Amino acid sequence: MTNTNDSMKTGYAQKRKAINTIVYIILSVMVVIWIVPIIWLILQSFNTEMGVTTKFFPSSFTFDHYIALFTDEQYPYGKWILNTFMVAALSCVISTLFILMVSYALSRLRFKVRKTFLNLGLILGMFPGFMSMAATYNIMDIFGLKQQLFALVIVYSAGAGLGYQVAKGFFDTIPRSLDEAAKIDGATRNQIFWQIILPLSKPIIVYTALTTFTGPWADYIFVSYFMKDNESNWTVALGLYKMLDKEAISTHFTTFCAGAVLIAIPITILFIIMQRFYVEGVTGGAVKG
Amino acid sequence: MASKSKKAVALLLTAMMAAAAMAGCGDSSAPATTVTSTTATESGEEELTVINLDDEEVLTTIKNKMKEEADAQTGDKKGKVSLKVWCASTDLAFEQSLAKEFEEKFADSGYELKIRVSGAIGEDASGSKIIEGPEDGADVFNFADDQLSSLVEAGDIAPVAGYFLGNVKSENTEDSIDICTVNDEVYAYPKTSDNGYFLYYDKRFFDESDVADFDAMVSKAGQSGKSVFFDMGNGWYSTGFFFTAGCTVSYKDGKQTATYNSDEGLSAAKAMCHIAENTGNGFEGTPGTMGDNAYVKAGFEDGSLVAAVIGTWVGPDIKAAIGEENVGAAKLPTVLMDGEQKQLDSFGGYKLIGVNKFSTYSFSSQVLAYYLGCPDSQLKRYQTRGLIATSTKALEDDKLKADPALLAIEAQKPYAHAQGASVSGKYWASNIGGFGGEIVTEKGKLTDDQLKTKLKQIEDQMS
């Protein structure tokens, strides 16, 4: 009896070990596949040869491309980073406010077209924003915001309220009795939102802020359509892409790599710091979503 | 009574103003010489004046007109003329220096002159970007000649102003003016004549006698572990084979024809296959992901390439890589087709400067466009950027006259076909590039039937 039990145990352990080995091998292969391009990018950003190479390890290293990023007048990377940061930060603040407010209203208030609005929002959200790009461009022109950075902020944040789903799911998990208790104490809806609900919603605030920041940070399509040839108002995504033009690639490929490495640093740090809120935020909202 | 005298005063004033305006015209033409245009219209020969930008009176006339435009924009305040130029990003620094010269030359106390040069929209795309949104487009833009007909069709390009027409016609080669002329009207300022390709080679490796025959070059390069580059995967280059074979490639009245599904088409394809057999052994036919310009530059730098079919835009890079004295240029070599050696054809063309019809400063833009394309600027463009001029005066420059690139372009000219008259967007959208690329990757090992199917496919895609 004990014998068979033992052999069963070892059989199970062996089987488990075998499965684990296979899983780890698969995972290792995937890690390599994911990491290699990033390492390659970093290596190329230090390569002394200017053009595209097929070699993985550069023959010699230099830091010049990082310096060139901030000294080359034709590709003013420093200005682009600043533009990107301003647009992303502003859009992030405005969008986050919009989303949280809309979500709170839809979660707590009961009004006539609430259900219709929920459905409408869902359907409208399915259409990609760039569908109306040309029209938006002309509207911005009417406002006198043609090729202006603020036009981008408006575009990125104006429709943000439609992304209420996750945050609304989160608010639904906060007991309504809290609202009611506050109401009895004489708080208005506005006070409840700012003083009771928001302090309890850190995870979802962080999650919303992160997603609304990374969107504009990496967006290419709107910038390229809106800014056209106005280099001083480009953002990093468009600027870096222009370094890969057939006319520029032979002299700017390594600079592009350096730029790509730099642009990844702030967002990586942000993610590492916010990671624990981030995970909580997504799952917290999904429970009752 | 009072109203009558008012009227009289008004009339008198009008008459005076008209007289003054006429006097202005007279003054401007006074220091100019009169030439007879070569393109005579039915009504007889039109007379065109040639002006000299260094002449004080001409300069004053131009400045006055620019001031009018500036004032029209701003009203009472000090007027502003602000112009935008699009050029190739590689030429940006040079075009900016010209713009600076222009700002200095035409500076005036009556207005503020500001020119912004942008390299964001290159010469290959500027035409379509102007058509897409002329209001957002540059006032003055550099473009390749194949876009001229569509720009004229769309009505987005302004014809050369009469004020400069005499100069443009008398200062540039006749061929270049023909290219700029659509329906008897000159629409653009010619800039360079090198929008085509020819053979660049390393003189230390090849003699002049070596570069006449493609196969001979490939085998000589192969023996030393070097390569000759011809970008077969790019339709702009590979079309040369089809021209050589005698296929009809034309674009007329919005219709694209290319008789590739024919015996001639097959001959061209087989000639390509014959060369591609040596891929990796003296021949390279595709630049991979890095683009042909970067590939050629890198190839000459590390010594793996000893010859390449490409154009003047890579010239400065090749010179820097192997030393100016070692750079040779020649017309394209002959290729083996239907059992005999035939001269390889090519595309050849011009790069032009256009003025946006919707520019707020229509006259000032014309002045700038003329200035960028004037003989002195063309010569400077050659000296700094190595681009071959269209100006007859610039072409008399000793260095330019002897430039191997110019000689190669001239030698290739009888075999070069104008892009605007041959191909349209539909042509490039077909699989012509992929076809050549496949020949290279298969190292030419494709049967006649396979080739025929693919050629038929390309022809179908164009119609």
Q: What share of chain A is helix, strand, coil (3-state, %, to 5)?
A: 80, 0, 20
Instruction: Give the count of Cβ contacts less than 8 A between chain A and B.
Output: 62
Q: Is the pLDDT of residue B110 over 50?
A: yes
Q: Is the pLDDT of residue B11 over 60?
A: no
Predicted confidence at residue B193, as pLDDT, reads 92
Judge: B89–A51 Cβ closer than 8 Å, yes or no: no
Judge: A52–B93 Cβ closer than 8 Å, yes or no: no
Q: Which residue from A53, A229, A253 is facing B121, i.e. has the nearest CB?
A: A229
B119-133 pLDDT per residue, tens: 889 898 899 999 988
Looking at B170-270, which runs of residues are DSSP E strands? 181-182, 185-186, 189-192, 198-202, 227-229, 249-252, 255-258
CA–CA gap between residue A6 and residue A17 (Å, rounded):
16
Predicted confidence at residue B290, as pLDDT, reads 74
Chain B residue numbers touching A228 (CB-CB < 8 A): 120-121, 129, 133, 136
CA–CA gap between residue B228 and residue B372 (Å, rounded):
36
What ranges in B347-403 are assigned the alpha helix state H?
A: 362-373, 375-385, 398-401
Q: Is the pLDDT of residue B207 over 80?
A: yes
Q: B190 is written with which tokens?
A: 């010619």
Distance (Å) from the alpha carbon of B333 to chain A's nearest alpha carbon: 26
Q: Using an 8 Å CB-CB cutoff, list residues of chain B that contact chain A.
A: 84, 86, 88-90, 92-93, 118-122, 129, 133, 136, 138, 288-294, 297-298, 313, 317
**What does DSSP say about strands B140-144 and B351-356: parallel, antiparallel, or unpaired?**
antiparallel
B241-291 pLDDT per residue, tens: 999 999 988 888 778 888 999 999 999 999 999 999 999 999 999 887 777
Predicted confidence at residue B19, as pLDDT, reads 46
Q: What residues contact B408, with CB distance under 8 A and at least 6 apart?
A: B198, B199, B329, B330, B331
B125: nearest CA in chain A? A245
Judge: B297–A245 Cβ closer than 8 Å, yes or no: no
For chain A, domain boundaries:
2-64, 73-286
Judge contact between B210 and B217, C-beta under 8 A.
yes
State which residues of chain A have pLDDT below 70. Answer: 1-9, 54, 278-289
B396-450 pLDDT per residue, tens: 999 998 889 999 999 999 999 988 778 877 888 888 988 999 999 999 999 999 9
Structural domains of chain B sorted by starting position, each given as residue range(s) with its CATH number in brackets: 32-51+58-192+351-389 (3.40.190.10), 198-348+410-462 (3.40.190.10)
Element holding B305 (H helix, E strand):
strand B305-310
Predicted confidence at residue A282, as pLDDT, reads 59
Q: What residues contact A215, with CB distance under 8 A and at least 6 apart?
A: A88, A91, A156
Closest CA to B284 of B211, B222, B345: B222
CATH number of A73-286: 1.10.3720.10
| pLDDT higher at B397 or B42 | B397
**Helix/strand/coil for B423:** coil
Q: What residues contact A224, with CB distance under 8 A and at least 6 apart?
A: A238, A241
Q: Is the pLDDT of residue B216 over 80?
A: yes
Q: What is the mean pLDDT of chain B?
A: 87
- Give the global pTM: 0.78
Q: What residues contact A41, with CB distance under 8 A and at least 6 apart?
A: A257, A260, A261
CA–CA gap between residue A62 and residue A47 (Å, rounded):
6
Q: Is the pLDDT of residue B22 over 50?
A: no
Residue carrying the six token digits 């970093």: A42
Judge contact between B376 and B365, C-beta under 8 A.
no
Predicted confidence at residue A51, as pLDDT, reads 72
| pLDDT higher at B41 or A66 | A66
**What does DSSP say about strands B305-310 and B227-229: parallel, antiparallel, or unpaired?**
parallel
Predicted confidence at residue B34, as pLDDT, reads 45
Q: Is the pLDDT of residue B40 over 80?
A: no
Chain B residue numbers touching A49 (CB-CB < 8 A): 298
